[in-house]
Amino acid sequence: MDKLIIKGGKPLKGEIRISGAKNAALPILAATLLAQEPVTIANVPHLQDVTTMMRLLGSMGVHLSVDDHMQISVNSSGVENFYAPYDLVKTMRASIVVLGPLLARYGKAEVSLPGGCAIGSRPVDIHIKGMKALGAEVEVENGYIKASAKKRLKGTDFLFDVVTVTGTENLIMAACLAEGQTILRNAALEPEVEDLARFLNTLGAKISGAGSDTIIIDGVEQLGGGHYTVLPDRIEAGTYLVGAAMTRGHIKIKNIDPTIMSAVLSKLREAGAEISQGDNWIELTMNQDRPKAVNIFTNPYPAFPTDMQAQMMALNTVAEGVAVVTENVFENRFMHVQELQRMGAKIELKGKSATCWGVEKLTGAPVMATDLRASASLVLAGLVADGETVVDRIYHVDRGYERIEEKLTQLGATIRRDS
């Protein structure tokens, strides 16, 4: 199993390019199931989760090819299988986003229930409720969601009980080909939801309001093809910025839209970072100062993202002062705490809050990645720790960070992969 071996102590310095957003690329790839004509997608990150989505679509009969720049050409005219097996879904929960497009275009879908995962129970009840509201018949049997629609789905007025990102995406995709108008209320505002809607509109869908909590979809008979460029990854960007702040460094990240990162940038400023930004870049310097501890309160966009909670906690472990990190989105997203403690972090966990007392130094240790963002926090901790940190099970990191060791090396870190 691959490991990352990090020798801490060097400030991150230099420039890197941010990749396309994983959480936009995955639903966009699934949405190609709706397209009657060929589609090309650019700025797709080269990640394990993208490979898994491509395998899943390939198993259904979608034809995919990738060029040297990770531009993916997709032709979904030959789909003959409407099945997402447990083996794939259990490795990537985002597989659930094939449910909406399969049901809308083919009137049937059989998708494994994802089950629990390292960050919480993560039910999909709202996805199912939404499909039923659009007129589908849905049963859960033998661990599978079995959905069918005898005729075209029918537009509806649907209120999400809980704000859900992939739930909103699944319903947008299903409603695209439904008869009449669908109104989604209390929808997720995440930029990745908006990106999916922009992609679908490129193919001929009629979606308005994406990026707000009320999304209106006027169903069309069919979607065509087109070309689309995936938006940059705000979580990857945030992770490198936090790394620079923790190591008292100075970096510039390119190919990023700063306007979708307000919550993270504002917390980094509160931690003492000096940040400047342009249309598609962000520069951060700590002027070699130690960061100050900052309280974090995660919530759906535009609040502070749960996907940045672990990394910000890593920053707090070496910051000046005490801070409380409160996780409001997932009930069990603190798997990194125990590993950070092994590196000398002072953290006390109580319910959904973790209190961190910043220490002068972390010490290198063997640690184990448990989920994607937890692993990222361990890599960041390794960058400031005294001595060597070995992060095991980094297939979790590879699910969401493109060439992490290459990008960190480019920023001056001492890091290598050991297979």
122 binds ligand EPU (CB under 6 A): yes
CB–CB of 23/56 below 8 Å?
Answer: no
Catalytic residue among 117, 275, 303, 324: 117
Which residue, 15 or 125, has its beta carbon nearer to ligand EPU? Answer: 125
369 binds ligand EPU (CB under 6 A): no
Q: How far is the CB of 117 from ligand EPU (least distance, A)?
A: 8
Which one of residues 4, 94, 251, 260 is an interface residue with ligand EPU (CB under 6 A)? 94
Which residue, 94 or 378, has its beta carbon nearer to ligand EPU? Answer: 94
3-state secondary structure of 215: strand
Q: Which stretch binds ligand EPU (CB under 6 A): 137-145, 164-172, 221-229, 377-385?
A: 164-172
167 binds ligand EPU (CB under 6 A): yes
- The closest alpha carbon to 372, from 168, 243, 236, 170, belongs to 236
Parallel, antiparallel or unpaired: strands 226-229 and 39-42: parallel
CB–CB of 258/265 below 8 Å?
Answer: yes
Q: How far is the CB of 97 from ligand EPU (least distance, A)?
A: 7
3-state secondary structure of 402: coil
Q: How far is the CB of 415 from ligand EPU (least distance, A)?
A: 21
Paired residues of 230 in beta bridges: none
Q: For 368-399, give the DSSP string.
A: E--SHHHHHHHHHHHHHSBSEEEEE-THHHHH
Which one of residues 306, 309, 317, 370 is an interface residue with ligand EPU (CB under 6 A)? 306
Q: How far is the CB of 342 from ligand EPU (least distance, A)?
A: 22
302 binds ligand EPU (CB under 6 A): no
Number of residues that bind ligand EPU (CB under 6 A): 24
Which one of residues 124, 184, 205, 381 is an interface residue with ligand EPU (CB under 6 A)? 124
164 binds ligand EPU (CB under 6 A): yes
19 binds ligand EPU (CB under 6 A): no
Contacts of 14 (CB under 8 A, 6+ apart): 251, 252, 410, 411, 412
Which residue, 329 or 347, has its beta carbon nearer to ligand EPU? Answer: 329
47 binds ligand EPU (CB under 6 A): no
Q: How far is the CB of 330 from ligand EPU (least distance, A)?
A: 5
349 binds ligand EPU (CB under 6 A): no
3-state secondary structure of 54: helix
Report which residue type is found at 405: E
Is residue 356 part of the annotated active site? The answer reads no
101 binds ligand EPU (CB under 6 A): no
133 binds ligand EPU (CB under 6 A): no
179-182 contacts: CB < 8 A, separation 24 or more? Answer: 179/152, 179/153, 179/154, 179/155, 179/219, 180/154, 180/155, 180/218, 180/219, 181/155, 181/216, 181/217, 181/218, 181/219, 182/134, 182/155, 182/156, 182/157, 182/158, 182/216, 182/217, 182/219
Q: Is 135 left (phi over 0), alpha (psi -120 to 50) or beta?
A: left
- Distance from CA of residue 233 to its chain's centroid? 8
Q: How far is the CB of 128 from ligand EPU (least distance, A)?
A: 7
Six token digits for residue 216: 């209106």
Q: How far is the CB of 369 from ligand EPU (least distance, A)?
A: 12
CB–CB of 252/276 below 8 Å?
Answer: no
Provide the Cα torsion 307, 310, 315, 316; round to 10°: 120
Which one of residues 18, 29, 241, 329 is an interface residue with ligand EPU (CB under 6 A)? 329
307 binds ligand EPU (CB under 6 A): yes
Using CB under 6 A as the criterion, which residues of the chain lie in contact with ligand EPU when the complex forms? 23, 26, 93-94, 120, 122-127, 162, 164-167, 192, 306-307, 329-330, 372-373, 400
Residues labelled as active-site residues? 117
